[in-house]
Structure 1
Amino acid sequence: MVITLGATNDPASSSGARIKRRPKDRKAQITRAAAETFSAQGYTAASMEAIAAKVGISAPALYRHYPNKYEMFSVVVSMLGDHLMESTAFIDDVSDAEMATDAQAVLDRAVDALITSAIRDRDASGLYRWQNRYLQPDDQAALMVQMRKVNRRLQRPLMAMRPGLTVSQRWSLSVSLLSVAGSVIGHRLEFPDSEIRPLLLTAARAVAATELPESGDGLEVSRPAVWRIFTPSAGPYEALLHAAVLLFGQKGYAETSVTEIAEAVGVPASGVYRYFSSKSDILTTGLQRAMDRFAGEMSAIASVFVEPAQTLPRLIEAYVATVFANPELTAVHDNERVNLAPAERELLRDSERVFTDTWAKPLVEIRPELTFLQAKFLVHAVTALVADLGRLAREDQPPGGVSVFGDPVYAQACLRKLMEAVLLGTD
């Protein structure tokens, strides 16, 4: 969003000259421009000069408000956390008696407010999910405090509605509600706000009602769990791709050098250039390969089954299993795609559209009340859900310090149930 700043006349000026006055909300404009720039370009690539140009001021003028890029970044991330806090603050004022009377209405109001916040911050709010790795420890801790508070607020109506939920189940459901409500930040589908709300509210209600499986109840490992996107044993090309994606996921693209990638495989840095022209080429190839493979596997499954009621569960099973078999890819896809050139980013979006369409087709047959666009919105919601809860399952560091899933098999079973709830609108 480009904000154009105009000049104002000073009627008291004897010369009648036009004098530019600094808007009272200049710092707020800078903060908004910074949020959008960091979200679009990533922390490393974003520059103070680019942010200043977006606002229409000089870089020295920008430094009068923020002494350095990190200070601006930390303020931006804190602002987005504040928006989540503001959206759910009313829950603190709801008495226990009121909560017992109509907990569903309280939860609906909270989810609606979170959807409003996500829509308002759509061009920027991906930062709290994608870029918080760059926060310093104190700021990271402050963000975690905000996220714990928001989750606990959502858990109040959940506990009133479902008093039998365990602690880990409550956290699983509250994180899922945040993920679904904020899922609009992860895609560019255009849809009227008035239609986004009922769609995501229905999905959120289904999430809140989901009966999660009991841990250890004879759960089976999904059959496609061996699907790997990269096969490092197949030769240097595959090994370099695999090592690079692992390092990009652990350290970040900007912080990873070609030398480190080469050392991980045991070849000299010059050997990397036998296969790739640059580090950027490695990132592009890795992300495109992953998305093409995901889309291809999903299309292959969809072509096997005639009945959409059979297709959708298999798509869910295969997608969750593949994400868990390739845990580094979600972080790289979410965090580092900003480092792709515009043309390469658009090619990646083409593959993502194929992936989304493959899911939307059986979904509209199962739920004919949905338009194709609505179905695609719900597909994006479940991919956000898998990314968010899958990350918690792998890191075992939920906002509340409570183990959400315990083991990968149980995590996959829970995710499949939650995905079905979002897509089908039922528990």
Structure 2
Amino acid sequence: MINQLLLRFKLLKDDKTLIIVMTLMALGLTLVFSSSMSGNYRPEVMLVDSDNTSESREFINELKLSRLLRYTETDEANAIKNIETGMSIGGLVIDQGFSDMMRNGKEINLSILRSKDSIELIQLRSDVQTTAFKFMSKFKTADMTVDIIKGEGFKVVEDELFEETYALSTYYWRYRNPFNLNSQVMDAQKDWAYNPMIHYLIGFTLFFSTFTIVFVGSDILKEKQQKTWQRKLVSPVSNTVIISSLLIVTFIVGMLQVGIIVLIGNYFLDINWGMNIGLMLIVFAAFVYAFTAIGLVVAGLAKTIEQLGAIVPIILVSSAMLGGTMWPLEIIQSKILLTLANLMPHKWAMQIISQTSAYGLNVSNFITSVLVLIAMGTVYLLIGLKLSKRHVY
């Protein structure tokens, strides 16, 4: 076994360029995509005021205080044009009757214009909901204040009192929050916080590592074409040792590539994964195990190196897209695509790491994701071992 492993490691010199390039691409694209989501960049949102009342104007002023999005007022025709041409991520329409809904205490209805789903639209919905909640809170505070003072028998000018109370509420919301929240993190070295770079780093790490794993694991196909595989089978070395050495080396290469990126993210990009690095590596180990087995299956299905080079990109890119490495699965509404995502190892690795980095470690979800990845890898491994017995002439 030792000699077979040493031989496999020596043969890695033929794949060293692939390993280095895939690692650098994962890091490079992470920096490029994450930088576009940080800094002073604020996506533009078209804002259409169909109500055109003092209440809607005040709501618009609240929206324009957003630090996430840049709201630009326009008419509906121009808004649709900008959205269709991709100049804006979407639009928000304040429908007629907005002020009446506010005064009557009814639920506010707002319309969002969009041409496609995106991460920015999730930000838009969240931003509008937060602003609407704050706006309604101030409005109801002023309205209730007027009712209470009138109920006590004081003679007041309702409109003036309402405006004065609303202005005071605005002042306290903006400069002196109406409440303070004290929090303390127990038994933790540092608190966790969501970082937009995390999704890209995890996604590109999983995506590019699969190329390395599959192509390194497909050396079995190269040996079959060169007749080396057949000579090994008739040698005193058992078939189990030959296959095991290939799988072990492939697994180690995949873990080294993933481990390097995780450590760079932790120590140089200041990413807080929300859990111990050891637990992180367990998740990645289960993922690498699954794709090591998938690589064995792909190598067994292909008959030539050229055939392998043609089908691997199709399989890896499509599985990565379905698994949510390119975009969050939360923006996908198709039940078919979401069902297919459950069959992709990427989805289970992305899900547990993303959720943990944002919300903290959930032991039950962690164990479930790892077991699913191991189960997938075991199924593919059994299929790959069966296919590896095929000969290529």
Give the TM-score category using the shorter length. under 0.3
The structure richer in helix per residue is 1
- Structure index of larger Rg: 2
So what's the TM-score if we normalise by structure 2?
0.24
